[in-house]
Chains A and B, each alone.
Chain A
Amino acid sequence: MSAPAAVEFRVGLSSCGVASGAGAVRDALAQEAASGATLKGVGCNGMCHSEPIVQVLEGGRPVAMYGNVTPAVAQQIARRHLGKPGGKDPSDHLLDPLSGPAGAYLGKQRRIVLENCGEIDPGRIDDYIARGGYQALTRCLNEGQRLSPDDVIAAVTESGLRGRGGAGFPTGRKWRVARSQPGTTRYVVCNGDEGDPGAFMDRLVLEADPHRVLEGLAIAAYAVGASEGFLYIRAEYPLALRHVRQAIAQAEEMGFLGRDIHGSGFSLKLLVREGAGAFVCGEETALIQSLEGHRGMPKLRPPYPVERGFRGAPTVINNVETLAAVPWILRHGAAEFASLGTEKSKGTKVFALAGKIRRGGLIEVPMGITLREIVEEIGGGVGDGRKFKAVQIGGPSGGCIPASMAGTPVDYDAIPATGAIMGSGGLVVLDDTDCMVDIARFFLRFTQAESCGECTFCRVGTKRMLEILDRLCAGHGAAGDLETLEELATYVGQASLCGLGQSAPNPVLTTIRYFREEYEAHIHEKRCPALSCPALVRYRVSDRCTGCTLCSQVCPVSAIEERPGEQHEIDSSLCTRCGECRHTCPEEAIEVVSPC
């Protein structure tokens, strides 16, 4: 490519950016900035709430960042930074990374795993190398300052890195056990089967910085003595798959992967395997079954995969985020990583912040930060007029932590003490319009559908629990339901083989623990305090109605008769409480009420 031009425009082109229209923004920039500027497609910088994002660099220095850019605004940005006359001033779209909302979002973050996201073109290995990429792997392999496999394991152990997939097992220890196994054949696997609903850390890292994950996996292979490895990635992530495949081809061409890497005698062949749509395959023994061509049914451990895994050989399975931290640790030293975080939880954690929050996206924070800091400061709190109610952390294996406990620090000890789990990093913020019984039901429906069916309690127990929750939300709860739920939850947790079943009751148990009164209202009063469960609410038109007939026009089930100029009425026997009339009414005249 040509030498860097004076002005460079960067457009975030990850899935979320593209879904927000970043493709059209890039095209507009390309047209306007055809000459005199470099245009670069980069990964997402995590500010999903402001996508599409355009960053401007002059002489290699960042000078401006714009958010919520449309093609028209992109033209204005290009004209302004290229000194072309005319056009509107795009400064309304400026995001100041040092102050204001963008500053609050970025200020508390500490970027290790995400350090390159939004900075480099994921399709160019040179970009990665220019930011220190493959230095850590090179140090392992090149004569002179060479790090032995034992040195690598020692460094990773010393850094305190723990598995970011959810369980938090110390990575260094895992590698050591695998290395100490007899035999010469070993495998490494990158687990990119990110299945938790509400979590997208791995997608973004794989899309925005794929070489980093390859380098981490190559270092893992070197440390444990593997010459073959797999990246198991969800098929729902087509862009991540494309970027990873492209990255492997580039790394092979440059000699960072393949036979006898850099003349060191170390060889590594990496292959991509697409998930076929089974949440349980995120569990490592199920993942191995899937790699071997079978149904993803977990196996009893021990033996652990590090002892006997893929093809019966010792197999190290690490999560995307875990591997992405490894090159940084080797480059900056274990001590620097360990200086971040708390006593038992070192380093940083990436979270996917979503739900009822002003600024959602991907964030990387030091361990030990409180949930409140994440929700209120980074995320800017919930929307106007709404109340922060709870955070759902850890997806279907996790739980809901109420706002009153938002002072809880994020680490591998404090979060489990609440009954939730750290999980892989899904963090969904809930406000006062979210019904906790419905949230519990949502997750249970998920785990019930994803249960592989091997263990009776997981297969049947979750089904029975779901039936009770369905009944509660439909207004058919009965005395004793809550006790039965709790009893079943205990059995399911105790009598399941793998993490899916063991943790499936967590969303139910935590919501019962912290929001028992909501369950009781559903059971005894047939009332949904959040006014969310459709069967337990009624829609009504207040006297603010001006008779504009808009509600009648949008009602999908014709439950509102058109009466121009008069106060409208909703036929409750037809109404499905879809909310369409409420969102349409310019007078906010449609009220949701409890029937009793």
Chain B
Amino acid sequence: VLGSVAGLQARPKEDGAPKAASPPIDLTFVDELVRREGRSPEAAIPILQAIQEHYRYLPDEAMRRVCELTEITPAQIAGTSSFYTRFRRSPVGKHIVRVCHGTACHVAGAGQINEELRRALNIPEGADTDDAREFTVEEVACLGCCSLAPVVMVDERTSGKLTRATARGVLTAAQKGGRG
């Protein structure tokens, strides 16, 4: 991680026409963000959080831009982005499925729910996203809905008391974009 950010930072600064140089990602968001959050090292985590919310992961280009605009160093970015589990360095699927692994969910069979979702999506071992980039399945720490264990959160929608059979249902519901 350190190598990739540091390496990117080592490139010559691209004043004037940086956007043309990296066409896939529009960095105007980062510029505005830095204007809002400030340039101090203290702003690093809120800035990374906002970048992740906007791009849904932490693109190298965006982080390089942060280093150019602020007092935040590549080392600080590498350190924090690898330390905190919510930060992702690779793109995610359209929907994020968070399988709760709190105590109550563990004793209620969270492992089996996780297995079932991964099987339903055909996610190979070692990966967390299906081939179609529809769903990313993550094991997360307690979501705090212990009375409804086992619990899964798809995007911002939480479903509880799941079984293997109903677990697949939360995926279809998310695809339909159904709420409530």
Contact = CB atoms under 8 A, between A and B. Distances in A.
A16 B148 contact: yes
A194 interface: yes
B1 interface: no
Contacts of A452: 83
B115 A578 contact: yes
Nearest to B48: A276
B104 A198 contact: yes
Interface string B56-86: 0000000000000000100010011001111
Contact of B106 (A16, A276, A360, A442): A442
A20 B148 contact: yes
Number of chain B interface residues as a range: 35 or more
Interface stretch (A175-183, A220-228, A231-239, A468-476): A231-239
A146 B158 CA distance: 46
B32 interface: no
Interface stretch (B6-14, B16-24, B37-45, B129-137): B37-45
B140 interface: yes
B122 interface: no
A207 to B, nearest CB: 9
Contacts of B76: 293-294
B25 interface: no
Contacts of B146: 48, 198-200, 352, 354-355, 360, 428
Contacts, number: 159
Nearest to A274: B49
A119 interface: no
Number of chain A interface residues as a range: 35 or more
B142 interface: yes
A198 B164 contact: no
B169 interface: no
Contacts of A450: 141
A457 B64 CA distance: 35
A446 interface: yes
A196 B84 contact: no
A295 B144 contact: no
Contacts of A353: 147
Contacts of A580: 112, 164
B144 A203 contact: yes
Nearest to A234: B144
A293 B48 CA distance: 10
Interface of A: 15-16, 18-20, 23-24, 27, 48-49, 51, 194-200, 203-204, 235-238, 273-279, 290-296, 352-356, 360-361, 392, 395, 426, 428, 430, 434, 439, 442-443, 446, 450, 452, 554, 556, 578-580, 583
